[in-house]
Homo-oligomer: A and B are copies of this chain.
Amino acid sequence: KNINKQLSKQSSYSNRGMTLEEDLNETNLYYRTHNIAVVHKKPIPVQIVNVDYPSRSAAVIKEAYFRQASTTDYNGVWNGKYIDFEAKETKSNSSFPLRNFHEHQIEHMKSVVQQEGITFVIIRFVTTDEIFLLEGKVLFFYWERMVKGGRKSIKKDEIIKDGIKIPYGLHPRIDYIKTVQKLNLL
């Protein structure tokens, strides 16, 4: 643990208590403002049951429920390419638990690959503040290993070997497009 913490301090910037989502929102705003890419976080899917319409004020949702997301968190367009990804944080130091994904999210990501879109997951190890990008095909490989009865997580060593570490920056904070450009997808 201590070695990892020391290593992460070597990067020029740290995340200063921001969540992965906050950092990605800042990054996407930077990309949009600088005409680099148009990527948004999708709204949280909510099943609305009861709405109140008070006179002279805005409608109030009085009863609603969280629905399970059928796709991923983020999508958009970069340089003519469709981008679609999920962002996940884990408190584990040694592995990324695959129960963070639902079967239908994996199916969605496979469909994206079939349509020649670019899909990946951005994983943040909270305790060491390290961020990795794992291509869809890598994620599918470890997902299949689990489905076939293998381990229910991806070891951190495997993520280091098969993923790409994204360094923190000042603006944008998580320059994942630069990392996507390194992939042999295009």
A residues at B contact (CB < 8 Å): 32, 35, 37-38, 40, 42-46, 48, 58-67, 70-71, 75-82, 84, 108, 111-112, 114-117
Contact = CB atoms under 8 A, between A and B. Distances in A.
A71 B115 CA distance: 22
Contacts of A81: 80, 82
A160 B180 CA distance: 41
Given A43-B43, A60-B63, A66-B61, A32 B77 contact: no
B46 A77 contact: no
A146 B66 CA distance: 40
Contact of A48 (B44, B58, B63): B44
A35 B40 CA distance: 24
Copies of this protein chain in the complex: 2
Given A77-B82, A77-B116, 13 more contacts: A32-B111, A40-B71, A44-B46, A46-B61, A58-B66, A60-B64, A61-B63, A62-B62, A62-B63, A77-B84, A77-B112, A77-B117, A80-B117
A35 to B, nearest CB: 6
Contacts of A45: 43
Most chain B C-beta atoms within 10 Å of own C-beta, residue among A45, A65, A77: A77
B111 A35 contact: yes
Contacts of A111: 32, 35, 38
A134 B183 CA distance: 35
A108 B42 CA distance: 14
Nearest to A119: B77
Given A76-B82, A111-B32, A112-B38, A64 B66 contact: no
A47 B70 CA distance: 20
B82 A115 contact: no
Given A76-B82, A80-B115, A117-B80, A59 B65 contact: yes
